[in-house]
A and B are shown apart, each in its own frame.
Chain A
Amino acid sequence: MIEYLLEPFAYEYMVKAIWVSALVGGVCAFLSCYMILKGWSLMGDALAHSIVPGVAFAYLLALPYAIGAFFAGILAAGGMAFVKQKTKLREDAVIGLVFTTFFAIGLVLVSINPMAVNIQAIILGNILAISDQDVQQVIIISLVVLSVLLLKWKDFLAVFFDEGHARSIGLPTSFLKIVFFTLLSAATVAALQTVGACLVIAMVVTPGATAYLLTDRFGVMVWIAITIGTLSSALGAYLSYFLNTNPGGFIVLIETALFLSAFLFAPKYGLISQKRAVNKHREAL
Chain B
Amino acid sequence: MSQAFIHLENVGVVYPNGHHALEGVTADLSPGTICGLVGVNGAGKSTLFKSIMGFITPTSGKVEITGLPVKQALKKNMVSYVPQTEEVDWNFPVLVEDVVMMGRYGYMNFLRRPSQADKKAVDEALQRVGMQDYRKRQIGELSGGQKKRVFVARALAQGGKIILLDEPFTGVDIKTEDSLIALFRILAEEGRLMLVSTHNLGSVPGFCDTVMMVNKTLLAYGPVETTFTQDNLAAAFGGMLRHHQLMGDELHDDPDARGVTVLTDDERPLVLYGEQGGQKIVRTKETAGEGIGRHD
Residues of A within 8 A of B91 (CB): 88
User: A282: CB under 8 A from chain B?
Assistant: yes
The reply to whether the CB of B293 lies closer than 8 angstroms to some CB of chain A is no
- C-alpha gap A88/B140 in the complex (Å): 11
Quick check: is A277 within 8 A (CB to CB) of the other chain? yes
- The verdict on A256 contacting chain B, using a C-beta distance below 8 Å, is no
How many residues on A have C-beta within 8 angstroms of the other chain's C-beta atoms? 6
Answer whether residue A38 sits at the interface, using C-beta atoms and an 8 A cutoff.
no
B289 within 8 A of partner (CB): no
CA distance A88 to B93 in the complex (A): 11
Interface residues of B in 1-23 (CB under 8 A from A): 16-18
Q: Is A274 an interface residue (CB 8 A)?
A: yes
Contacts of A282 in B (CB 8 A): 18
> At the interface, yes or no: A281 with Cβ under 8 Å from chain B?
yes
Distance A88 CA – B16 CA, assembled complex (angstroms): 36
User: Which A residues are in CB contact (< 8 Å) with B17?
Assistant: 274, 278
Interface size on B, residues (CB 8 A): 5
Note all chain A residues with C-beta closer than 8 A to B18: 277-278, 281-282
How far apart are the CA atoms of A274 and B16 in the complex, in Å? 11
Query: Per-residue 0/1 for B73-100: is the Cβ within 8 Å of any A Cβ (1 yes, 0 no)?
Result: 0000000000000000001000000000
State how many angstroms separate the Cβ of B82 from the closest Cβ of chain A. 23
Residues of the B chain whose Cβ atoms lie less than 8 Å from the Cβ of A281: 18
1/0 contact string of A247-285 vs chain B (CB within 8 Å)? 000000000000000000000000000100110011000
Chain B proximity of A271: nearest CB distance (Å): 12
Residue of A nearest to B91 (CB): A88
- Chain A residue with Cβ nearest B15: A278
Q: In the bound complex, what is the Cα–Cα distance between A277 and B140 (angstroms)?
A: 45
Bound-complex Cα distance A277 to B18 (A): 8
Question: Quick one: closest B residue to A280, CB to CB?
Answer: B18
Q: How far is the CA of A278 from the CA of B91 in the complex (A)?
A: 40
Cβ < 8 Å to A, chain B residues 224-281? none
Alpha-carbon distance A227/B194, docked complex (angstroms):
57
Interchain CA distance A88-B139 in the complex, whole Å:
14
C-alpha gap A281/B20 in the complex (Å): 10
Q: How far is the CA of A281 from the CA of B16 in the complex (A)?
A: 11
Q: How many Å lie between the Cα of A88 and that of B90 in the bound state?
A: 10
Given A88-B91, A88-B140, A282-B18; 6 other pairs, CB 8 A cutoff: A274-B17, A277-B18, A278-B16, A278-B17, A278-B18, A281-B18
Interface residues of B (CB under 8 A from A): 16-18, 91, 140
**Chain A interface residues toward B at CB < 8 A:** 88, 274, 277-278, 281-282
What are 9 sample pairs from A and B whose C-beta atoms fall under 8 A apart? A88-B91, A88-B140, A274-B17, A277-B18, A278-B16, A278-B17, A278-B18, A281-B18, A282-B18
Q: 4 shortest A-B CB distances, which residue pairs?
A: A278-B18, A88-B91, A281-B18, A278-B17
